[in-house]
Structure 1
Amino acid sequence: MLRLTILLAAAISTTSCASRIELPGSVLPPEQEAAAVEGMGAPEPWRSVDATTGQIADAEGLIQLAEDFPDSASVRLRLLGNAYRDDRPDDVLQHWYWLMDRNYSLGHQTVVQLSAYLASKGEQYTEGVGDDLRIAHEATLDLLRESSELITAVPETIRLPEAVLRNESNGRTLVTSIVSRGLFVQDGGANWREIAIADAGSLAGIALDEPRGLIWIGSGVVDQTPNPETAFRGIIALDRITLEERRRVPAPDGVSISDIAVGPDGTVYGSDPVGGGVYMAALGDNAMQTFIAPGTFRSPQGIAVRPDNTALYISDYRYGLAQVMIRSRVAYRMRAAEPMLLDGVDGLWLRGNELIAVQNGLDPQRVTAFELGQGIGVIASQRTLEYGNPDWKETLGGAIAGNSLYYIGSGQWAVYEGGGVFIEGSVVEPAQIRRLQLVETPPE
């Protein structure tokens, strides 16, 4: 897996690009009325991005990028890094405050580095900054939420678990694996067992197609895939009850499907976060077709389908959220009615009128509910569901079941390198599967 790590140290030294691999859910409840938001204006087209966009390093180009993606912490960090390199203390302070206002933490080492830099430019750049940092830190502490609960753990023998699907009625838990290249099941708290899938690749996204009784899984190749030449690339359907294979649909040559979602008509959508494309397979298709060609998104991740089958919501890990109309395939940038961060989104699910997002590309990591507003591409508000849980290592894939989000809270990507080789000296721990309640309940 390529990982996009949003760290200021990297932004100051160089501009890098990677990606996350994750999973959206697929069982969608009925639509709810969207919130009315005044003054949002007409929908705004999504600016196409690719690998060359990540190489923009001049101030003018980055300023334009920030105008095109005004809710991206990644772009703002690049602006901050540019201002630091070009010795523009006014801009450094401005971008720093922008991030603080959105509860983004730069980390201790970076704060020390920037504080020393500003102090060397005169006290007009340090007066009040210490108090503001203290206030921002206290605000962050107020946001800290350990809302989820641990329900089970994946043993270390299952290497690099990526996503989880949970059946609340019988306690069955399914987990996909990148390095073990398999699907594993735990029935009602029993031991884990592997489900045989011939030529399975690195399995990532998993989604339920409840009307047709199928479980869909994305299969592909990433850097950590052992023996990639033997891996099937595409999507695989299993019987929901027996877990026997029912269908598989290959992706175009060189495409690796990770995140997936199922529309109400049974169409399966999948993203390729490395290649940048989004693909689809309708009922009866023998091969996946291109839905959005590479070049529109840099690293598409989570996907959610509207229950009226008119649009997809897609996360681009570096730049933010998009709404793509299914009929025209035109992409619009999601616009926030209040200050918030829309990038760093790995998993994405639609529940009622809220997009539930796992934002593991922000610091601290968080799970956020974005309330949709009326019109195309409008986010009316947000609520923080979980923030900076100290039990987290890396929040990964999951799915919504009932009123809860089930997800992996302790990713293991950092302990494997190319070909799935274990990095010497690393420590592998059982991967946590956590449950986060999405509906607030009144105290007893």
Structure 2
Amino acid sequence: MNTFLRSRFAAFTARFPTSYCLVFAALQVGFSSMNYAQSQPSDANAHRSKVAFQLPETGLITEGIAYDSQTETFYISSVHERKLISYSVKKGATDFSQPVDSLWGMFGLKVDPARRLLWGCSSALAQAKGITATSDGHTALVAYDLKTRQLLHNYPVPDDGKPHLLGDLTVSRSGTVYATDSRSPWIYRLDVGAKTVTPFLTDTLFRSLQGLALSDDEKTLYVADYRRGLLSVTLSTKRVTCLSCAQTADLSGIDGLYYYQNSLIAIQNRKKPYKVIRVYLDKTTSAIERVEPLDVDHPLSTEPTLGVVVGKQLYYIANSQWEAFDDAGKPVPNFSAAKPTILVLPLN
């Protein structure tokens, strides 16, 4: 949900309501140099991420990525071109969605393997080509049939006169979809068989919600808030706890978030150096035990966004290239576009 340019403290209206941008720009989160330094990888392992593959088309603003283990296919979302792309070693990169689908800018993606669905967040904003001012701020969940590539469902968030941007989502084993809104402080929910997306939870701790991940037992929903850090939601009671508030390590600026072996894998892109970190939880999974950087300031990771855990590896978007377009969605003159790059990082 890397929604605006890297100079986001001035341009991050999709991540933050205007009043929060000023607070965020002044916010300086303390670092625990001892806690972080003890966990730093050695120089030899500082860049453990390797290139997994690249897409030939530039100018996409690549944001989300999902994986279908049955067909060994990756799916990548494009904000600017308003489409989905599939990639496999055998077939290479091809357009998955069709222009007739009339998508908005595409953000987070998730595969529901049991139901053979590809879920995505579709949001209207200036950086999505052809979006008009009247559409800006509208958002929806969309679902595709993985086999036929047909758009099966489009569930818009009801228009309440406020701007919305569904930027990421997760899907439970039962098929329930949870999605975060980066522009209004809400988590949305879509139950199996439901015809509308419904507001699930808001809280005074919510500022700019980003990635989210379910625990293995699916009793807890972990949520990244770009300003506050990491939050946990007990789904049965809707109780929200700030996990990072007691931490001295800087856990703000997390975009992608993934649950992995009693820990959270997080992609931090608020400020340089950009990082992929592992946040270890205690035995109760309700508190942070320690933080370990996995890859810091990778030379190809010029603006990382979202990823997907495949086995014991994280595949993630390394260069989303939001900076190719200004706040009005116009191409930045003399911007040197690069092929969208997906890096792979071993987690163990």
TM range (shorter): 0.7 to 0.9
Q: Deviations over 1:88-146 (max 9, x none)?
A: xxxxxxx6xx465566xxxxxxxxxxxxxxxxxxxxxxxxxxxxxxxx8xx79749611
Using structure 2 for the length normalisation, give the TM-score.
0.85
Partner of 1:380: 289
The code of the aligned residue for 2:176 comes to T
Matches within 5 A, 1:343-354: 343-354=252-263
Rounded to whole Å, the distance in 1 between the matches of 2:187 and 2:103 is 21
Gaps of 5+ in 1: 11-15, 22-48, 58-72, 78-94, 104-135, 440-444
Select the residue among 44, 47, 58 that pairs with 1:146.
Answer: 47
Whether 2:60 is the aligned partner of 1:195: answer no
Structure showing greater relative contact order (alpha-carbon pairs closer than 8 Å, 6 or more residues apart): 1
Say whether the 8 Å CA contact 1:278–1:294 is kept in structure 2: no
Partner of 2:57: 156
Residue 268 to residue 186, structure 1, CA distance change in 2 (3 Å): same
Rounded to whole Å, the distance in 1 between the matches of 2:14 and 2:42 is 27
Say whether the 8 Å CA contact 2:230–2:242 is kept in structure 1: yes
Question: How much has 1:329 moved relative to structure 2?
Answer: 1.8
SS state at 2:167 partner: coil
The code of the aligned residue for 2:12 comes to A
Partner of 1:243: 149
Say whether the 8 Å CA contact 2:170–2:178 is kept in structure 1: yes
Rounded to whole Å, the distance in 1 between the matches of 2:93 and 2:329 is 21
Question: How much has 1:293 moved relative to structure 2?
Answer: 3.3
Select the residue among 82, 102, 112 that pairs with 1:209.
Answer: 112
Question: How much has 1:335 moved relative to structure 2?
Answer: 4.1
Residue 281 to residue 338, structure 1, CA distance change in 2 (3 Å): closer
The code of the aligned residue for 1:306 comes to S
Question: How much has 1:191 moved relative to structure 2?
Answer: 4.2
Rounded to whole Å, the distance in 1 between the matches of 2:274 and 2:327 is 26
Gaps of 5+ in 2: none
Select the residue among 12, 25, 29 that pairs with 1:18.
Answer: 12
SS state at 1:394 partner: coil
Whether 2:70 is the aligned partner of 1:76: answer no
Q: Deviations over 1:178-219 (max 9, x none)?
A: 000000112325342212341101001001112222111110
Select the residue among 420, 430, 433 that pairs with 2:329.
Answer: 420
Say whether the 8 Å CA contact 1:235–1:249 is kept in structure 2: yes
Whether 2:77 is the aligned partner of 1:176: answer yes
Rounded to whole Å, the distance in 2 between the matches of 1:329 and 1:176 is 30
Q: Deviations over 1:385-438 (max 9, x none)?
A: 111112221112121111111111112100112453211111111011111111
Percentage identity across aligned positions? 24
Rounded to whole Å, the distance in 2 between the matches of 1:145 and 1:391 is 13
Whether 2:124 is the aligned partner of 1:221: answer yes
Rounded to whole Å, the distance in 2 between the matches of 1:280 and 1:235 is 10
Rounded to whole Å, the distance in 1 between the matches of 2:22 and 2:172 is 35
Q: Deviations over 1:311-366 (max 9, x none)?
A: 21011112111001212222110047764221111100111201010111243111
Rounded to whole Å, the distance in 2 between the matches of 1:222 and 1:384 is 33
Partner of 1:359: 268
The code of the aligned residue for 1:403 comes to K
Rounded to whole Å, the distance in 1 between the matches of 2:26 and 2:65 is 27
Select the residue among 395, 403, 420 that pairs with 2:312.
Answer: 403
The structure richer in strand per residue is 2
Residue 184 to residue 158, structure 1, CA distance change in 2 (3 Å): farther
Say whether the 8 Å CA contact 1:237–1:245 is kept in structure 2: yes
Rounded to whole Å, the distance in 1 between the matches of 2:113 and 2:338 is 33
Residue 279 to residue 299, structure 1, CA distance change in 2 (3 Å): same
SS state at 1:414 partner: helix
SS state at 2:323 partner: helix
Deviates more, 1:312-321 or 1:416-425: 416-425
RMSD of aligned C-alpha atoms? Answer: 3.1
SS state at 1:420 partner: coil
Residue 53 to residue 431, structure 1, CA distance change in 2 (3 Å): closer
The code of the aligned residue for 1:75 comes to L
SS state at 2:27 partner: helix
The structure with the larger Rg is 1
Say whether the 8 Å CA contact 2:12–2:21 is kept in structure 1: no
Partner of 1:234: 140
How many residues matched? 337
Select the residue among 290, 293, 299 that pairs with 2:199.
Answer: 290
The code of the aligned residue for 2:164 comes to V
Question: How much has 1:237 moved relative to structure 2?
Answer: 1.2
The code of the aligned residue for 2:275 comes to R
SS state at 1:258 partner: strand
The code of the aligned residue for 1:397 comes to L
Residue 314 to residue 19, structure 1, CA distance change in 2 (3 Å): farther
Say whether the 8 Å CA contact 2:66–2:74 is kept in structure 1: yes
The code of the aligned residue for 1:250 comes to P
Matches within 5 A, 1:119-138: none
